[in-house]
Chain A
């Protein structure tokens, strides 16, 4: 959203800028080399940062050509054999490992859309309804914290709490009760990873919703109260409609991301729970490509995954426009 607004506001470049050169009206008449001479200090300042972006984003993107090669690390891109679309056959051949990764990915995305996505909306409404600002800020500072912890730490914390020798089971054992088997149990795995995401990011994700909530016109509340609306009616008729654009926008972005779920989070727990339930497309690419040496096939899967994600965003954005929403951008 930031991105697109940026392009739009900065698009009309020839407007005489404040803070431009001291003689902006003569700028257009200057030749390319003269402008280059004048602006070279600015370009030098941009150079190192731009170089990093070009090399690690754009050049790296070009590395996807190995999806069309029988890539061998010791030959490199230059001398590896070109095989056309052969590597993409795995997408259609019904390869069980690929299908397992695909179905796990889609299932986890579905779970996250149902259980993780609404959590910060509900929490933001709850925080927003607090009368005391002090309480609100105190709760916020506690609930934002887990966002800044790495996945390694979050997974470790959950293990220490819920594992066989963890805090909960210790407590249960010391009271002579039955213990719960959660860590390393494939049946509980999806519930576990869903709660990890909720624990880590729900608080932080409220920031955006709270910002939107503070923008809603107070007179709408006054007017609805005048008409006798209760608190609940106000949420339904004023607050939620005010949040609709941001909810739609985040759903679109979520859809674009629907093929990438919790890569680090899942990779960290694969050893404990096994690949049957924890293999997703990203871990599949890593395990088969970097670890297993099937570079070309894995790159093909990764490439298709990226393209599908891009198409999903474009389509969802179109649908949002048809439904009369702002969406992520307008072309």
Chain B
């Protein structure tokens, strides 16, 4: 910061420019600090409250009337009660399974299609590319999508929340852009050495594309983990519910979770504590992958989009 009293107009060449912009004044810095601190607090504080309440001992939660900002001790009863069987445990396993299977399937289909579309001289390449691009422009609608899933006999199976969303046209385009950008000399030399298409894809394309596939995979994974509406639309059998639906029923709608729902034989902690614990276990996977996402997304997604 400049130490002198800030003049209203600055002349260039006085050393006060950063990249052509005059240095900010003191008032501006104070205001910006306050605004950004509040913004960050608005994001962080709810999480602190939720995690604290989920860990707080029952007496503290009851005296506080439902919410605590700092737990007086660590009490894991709420987690024990939801993770030892019953609806939440089942939903957690379903969500984890759907996310794992879905992400693998999505990545496989996306990498294969992205690679194929990057071979621009193959027959039908333009038509296939157009088919994928045009699909970005429209959404078939809730009812037509439902009818297709119904016709395929996928209603009330977990495939209904995996297969319809398994190929994201946008991700295909990002992966294709990456393959198009690869140095073609390497491919040519491999081809001259007698490598066929599958070998090229498997031994050259896939290993080289690992960074972009990592990003795309993380986005798919987050998508499957967070999917809510498709599950609600296609799964009427509550035994198949993923975590997001359980979250809606017991946390958003506030349906009471009884001992019989949890298969727990202990006396249950307060409902708020259980609700917060469910919320925490649904947020934790996102928090775990977030640093990886963050390291890659700006780079991966933007280069993909710009190169396009």
Pick the residue among B18, B132, B233 that contacts A53 (CB under 8 A).
B132
In the assembled complex, the Cα of A63 lies from the Cα of B19 at a distance in Å of 56
One of A3-11, A88-96, A106-114, A242-250 contacting the partner:
A3-11
Q: How far is the CB of B50 from chain A (nearest CB, A)?
A: 6
> Which B residues lie within 8 Å of A10 (CB)?
120, 126, 129
B39 at the interface (CB under 8 A from A): yes
A225 at the interface (CB under 8 A from B): yes
Q: Are B20 and A20 in contact, CB atoms less than 8 angstroms apart? A: no
Q: How far is the CB of A320 from chain B (nearest CB, A)?
A: 17
Q: Contact flags (1/0) for B230-263 with A, using CB distance below 8 Å?
A: 0001000000000010011001110000000000
* Minimal Cβ-Cβ distance residue in A for B305: A2
Q: How far is the CB of B231 from chain A (nearest CB, A)?
A: 10
A323 at the interface (CB under 8 A from B): no
Q: Contact flags (1/0) for A56-83 with B, using CB distance below 8 Å?
A: 1111111110100000010001000000
Residues of B143-167 contacting chain A, CB below 8 A: 143-148, 150, 152, 163-164, 166-167
Assuming the contacts A22-B192, A63-B140, asked whether A142 and B40 have C-beta atoms less than 8 A apart, the reply is yes
A129 at the interface (CB under 8 A from B): yes
Assuming the contacts A6-B133, A45-B197, A152-B252, asked whether A167 and B147 have C-beta atoms less than 8 A apart, the reply is no
Q: Contact flags (1/0) for B248-285 with A, using CB distance below 8 Å?
A: 10011100000000000000000010011001001100
B26 at the interface (CB under 8 A from A): no
Q: Contact flags (1/0) for B98-133 with A, using CB distance below 8 Å?
A: 000000000011101101110111111110111111
A264 at the interface (CB under 8 A from B): yes
In the assembled complex, the Cα of A124 lies from the Cα of B282 at a distance in Å of 30
B56 at the interface (CB under 8 A from A): no
Which of the four size classes fits the interface of chain A? 35 or more
* Minimal Cβ-Cβ distance residue in B for A146: B43
A290 at the interface (CB under 8 A from B): yes
A156 at the interface (CB under 8 A from B): yes
> Which A residues lie within 8 Å of B216 (CB)?
none
B30 at the interface (CB under 8 A from A): no
Pick the residue among A52, A54, A63, A151 that contacts B163 (CB under 8 A).
A52
Residues of B210-231 contacting chain A, CB below 8 A: 222, 225-229
In the assembled complex, the Cα of A97 lies from the Cα of B116 at a distance in Å of 48
In the assembled complex, the Cα of A145 lies from the Cα of B43 at a distance in Å of 8
* Minimal Cβ-Cβ distance residue in A for B248: A152
| Top 10 A-B pairs, shortest CB-CB distance | A221-B20, A63-B144, A49-B113, A19-B184, A150-B226, A46-B116, A41-B197, A60-B140, A222-B20, A18-B184
Enumerate 20 A-B pairs (CB-CB under 8 Å) in ascending A order: A3-B136, A6-B308, A9-B308, A17-B121, A35-B123, A54-B131, A58-B135, A66-B147, A141-B294, A142-B40, A152-B244, A152-B248, A153-B282, A156-B251, A161-B46, A203-B43, A223-B20, A226-B11, A295-B143, A299-B144
Q: Given A62-B144, A126-B36, A160-B276, output 7 extra A-B contacts at Cβ < 8 Å.
A: A10-B126, A18-B185, A19-B188, A50-B131, A60-B148, A77-B147, A152-B282
- Chain A interface residues (CB < 8 Å from chain B): 1-3, 5-7, 9-11, 13, 17-22, 24, 27, 32, 35-36, 38-39, 41-43, 45-46, 48-50, 52-64, 66, 73, 77, 123, 126, 129-131, 135, 139, 141-146, 148-153, 155-157, 159-161, 165-167, 170, 173-174, 199, 203, 207, 211, 218-226, 228, 230-231, 234, 263-264, 267-269, 271-272, 282, 285-286, 289-290, 295, 298-299, 302-303, 305-306, 310
